Amino acid sequence: MTGPRFNPAETTRLDIQRPDTALIKAAGKLPSATLHEAAGKIGALPAAIQPVAPGFKVCGPAVTVHSPGGDNLWLHRAIYAAQPGDVLVVSVSEAYEHGYWGEIMSTASKVRGLAGLVINGCVRDQRLLSEIGFPVFARGLCIRGTGKDFGARGWINAPIRLDDVTVNAGDLIVGDEDGVVCIPREQVATAIAASEAREAAEAQQLKRLEAGESTLSIFGWDQ
């Protein structure tokens, strides 16, 4: 790259608020679908974003990244702007067909103690990512490389939009085999309480089903 460099400090915010650690721990025990439903059917990130390897789960506060399309320099910067336990949540300006992430970045993030990556774009090195064990959720796999434009503007910890969901820095991110949900930081405690109540109710409903009742009678749909 030739020409002036952009100073990343201009669009990087480090002083974000995060949910209480006890709430994050409690959320990590809950399914993403339960949190989505119990919170009022909110926060479901694009269904195309799925775990890159079986068994990947993620839970933690969002560090948001808005990256120029086809460029992953801001993702590298975000690894070192984030704190242990954070989840990088990345918008790639709808330029999905690039491998923005791979073995090197997963290793760096694991060493930093980050909780995972959620990217509305593609990654590569699937087998190696599985072996490293750092949770990665992405739209798919793509071998097409990215650039590093030091003159390009990106943002760290500014609001990002993933389809119809706005993700703010510090929001709670939970992902599992069903997908990924974003719960606004101010609603985390309420969403967890509602989710735990929902899980308890479903446990009783399962017992009733096993005892021979029907879904129609349990939910009052046979009237």
Q: How far, in Å, CA of 192 to CA of 147, rounded?
A: 40
Consult the annotation and say whether 102 binds a ligand.
Answer: yes
Consult the annotation and say whether 124 binds a ligand.
Answer: yes
Concatenating the DSSP letter of every residue in 115-165 gives -EEEESSEE--HHHHHHH---EEESEE-----B--TT---EESS-EEETTE
What is the distance, to the nearest Å, from the Cα of residue 181 to the centroid of all Cα atoms in its chain? 7
Q: How far, in Å, CA of 99 to CA of 140, rounded?
A: 9
Consult the annotation and say whether 125 binds a ligand.
Answer: yes
CB 54 within 8 A of CB 129: no
Concatenating the DSSP letter of every residue in 17-77 gives ----HHHHHHHTTS-HHHHHHHTTS--B--TT-EESSTT--EEEEEEEEE--TTB-HHHHH
Consult the annotation and say whether 222 binds a ligand.
Answer: no
Nearest partner of 119 among 100, 143, 144, 146, judged by Cα: 100
Residue whose entry in the numeric block shows the structure tokens 């992902």 = 175
Q: Which residues pair with 219 in a beta bridge?
A: none
What is the distance, to the nearest Å, from the Cα of residue 9 to the centroid of all Cα atoms in its chain? 24
Q: How far, in Å, CA of 83 to CA of 115, rounded?
A: 9
Q: Where is the binding site for Mg(2+), in residues?
A: 124-125
Q: Where is the binding site, in residues?
A: 102-105, 124-125
Q: Where is the binding site for substrate, in residues?
A: 102-105
